[in-house]
Structure 1
């Protein structure tokens, strides 16, 4: 923990890296997560360039502060006491999208939906699966997000990231080590800044049709109208988490403001005023009862970060 003088010094130096409107203290994370849950971040910073990311990481290291990286705040549960140290949040300030031929380059803060629609406008196929995933492209690469038979690992050609020692490194697809909801960035602490996608020319009509189909399926089957972090649990080998939860009779189960969605049992939603403690208690209860019935241990897909 920093003393008051160190805190002021860190804040002053952080504000010298970026404009003051992109630096905050004690920022409520409930405003930056799709769950609408989470206590305050000690320091909160929105970068507008790779250089700013590198400078902020170096500064945090100098002061011995842990760093947490957020994109759109989907797929995460921030605990009620918030996040110590520095939160770096990627948003539209690093949300550029451009292309050269069938290669698309996107800043880590670009939304998956925007990248998917941009690709469609260029007549490029491969990103249709991502149209309704409510995340940033940086977060999607970090988690190897996927849906409808597609995943980021199928389309990523390379990633540019700032590593903890401040160096800028370009990771090839092989180096990223994509697996089910996994990438090397979960271990190496390098911060994704730009994603390079290798797509293929396709029929604009077919691309649009597929995107419309996926959007309709998502809206019909998933509780998109309620705050959630997306799918709560990873898919256990040979099963679907939502099916196991439904067959255990847990649809609608509620603890505090957290509820297993009536629409899709694979989602825990914030039904109103939920705390992270409510969600954690519900996750544990679902795990316990599914294991009791099917002898299958569900693993959370949602990243749980911060202090209880």
Structure 2
């Protein structure tokens, strides 16, 4: 591993650390160390990083702002590549925007609203990155990424970069082709938006933010929705009906505000969260014969 670190530092790809604690890079504030942590400073340096990883046959995974991620206490073997400010470029051309994967969704929605472009208001309260949002087809308030994405620039693990159209991304509820058939890293996205009235756009963003503030515990460390909605049912309602709001294991607690959120109430471990997830799954299965599937991505050694 020291040889790989030395190689990456010599290539000047960006930040390179050994045993970086991933609790510092997830919104739930839990997670053990990444054996190798890399934060590339540009798309070109991301490509160089992947060349080194491929050459040494190192296991890898990419993360954004860690808002849909549960990392085990044992951490992650291999390389963790964080897409952040080095990949946060933004170009606006009429009704189309091209934006880097590391760009914050919240700040993007605010910037775009000031330009009088509509279509991204749903994302104004999602505390993730563009890359993560495209990867998992993030959504809220009746809309999602699939409604606005024109194409996505993907770096595949064979080193090839390719633009995939909306259709080729094979979006469905909180998933894309990247999660199953074609693993790769979202590098950039092109969104097609529409012209709108700035006052109306800002009013909708304000309503969406107030709704989130009043119904979801974003002032506590959390990972967003823990479970996918087992439609036609809603995960939060089922958990609330099962009287699990406020139920805690260790420092992990089901939010009092929203049943589909688990918060780090103080000193939680990933193991606490995993045990709480299993308890919720078992309870809902026993009570309603409904199998709950996690929306949050669970990664690392167990």
Superposition TM-score tier, normalisation by shorter sequence: over 0.9
Question: 2:13·2:41 contact (CA, 8 Å) conserved in 1?
Answer: no
* Corresponding residue of 1:148: 141
Match of 2:206 among 212, 217, 235: 212
The yes-or-no answer on 1:92 pairing with 2:90 is no
Q: Is 1:160 aligned with 2:158? A: no
Inter-partner Cα distance in structure 2 for 1:18 and 1:173: 34
Q: 1:1-308 counterparts in 2 under 5 A?
A: 7-18=1-12, 22-187=15-180, 188-308=182-302
Can you list the C-alpha shifts for 1:138-175, whole angstroms capped at 9, x where unaligned? 00000100000010010110011111111111111110
User: Which secondary structure state, in structure 1, belongs to the residue aligned with residue 40 of structure 2?
Assistant: coil
- CA shift, 1:9, in A, is 1.1
Q: Is the 8 A contact 1:54 1:167 kept in 2?
A: no
Q: Secondary structure at the match of 1:174?
A: coil
TM superposition score normalised by structure 2: 0.98
Question: How far apart are 1:95 and its partner, in Å?
Answer: 1.2
Normalized against structure 1, the TM-score is what?
0.96
C-alpha contact 1:109 1:136 (8 A) present in aligned 2: yes
| Superimposed CA distance per residue, residues 90-121 of structure 1 (whole angstroms, 9 cap, x where no aligned partner) | 11121122210000111000000111111101
Q: Distance in 2 between the 1:183 and 1:48 partners?
A: 26
Which is further off, 49-58 or 96-105?
49-58
Report if aligned partners of 1:50, 1:162 keep a CA contact under 8 Å in 2: no
What runs of 5+ residues in structure 1 fail to find an aligned partner? 1-6
> Which digits, 9 at most, give the CA deviation of each residue in 1:233-262, with x for residues without a partner?
000021110000000010100000000001
Deviations 1:196-227 (A, max 9, x none): 00000011110000000000000000001100
Q: Give the Cα separation in 2 of the matches to 1:35 and 1:140.
A: 17
Aligned length: 301
SS in 2 for 1:98: strand
Tell me, yes or no, if the aligned pair for 1:38 and 1:78 is still in contact at 8 Å: yes
State whether residues 55 and 166 of structure 1, in contact with CA within 8 Å, keep that contact through their aligned partners in structure 2.
no
Find the aligned partners of 1:149 and 1:19 in 2 and give their Cα distance.
39
Give the Cα separation in 1 of the matches to 2:77 and 2:229: 31
In 1, distance between residues paired with 2:64 and 2:224? 14
The 8 Å contact of residues 79 and 305 in structure 1, kept in 2 or not, is answered as: yes
Task: Judge which range, 254-263 or 9-18, deviates more.
Answer: 9-18
SS of equivalent to 1:246: helix
TM superposition outliers: structure 1 runs of 4+ over 6 Å: none
How far the C-alpha of 1:19 sits from its partner, in A, is 5.2
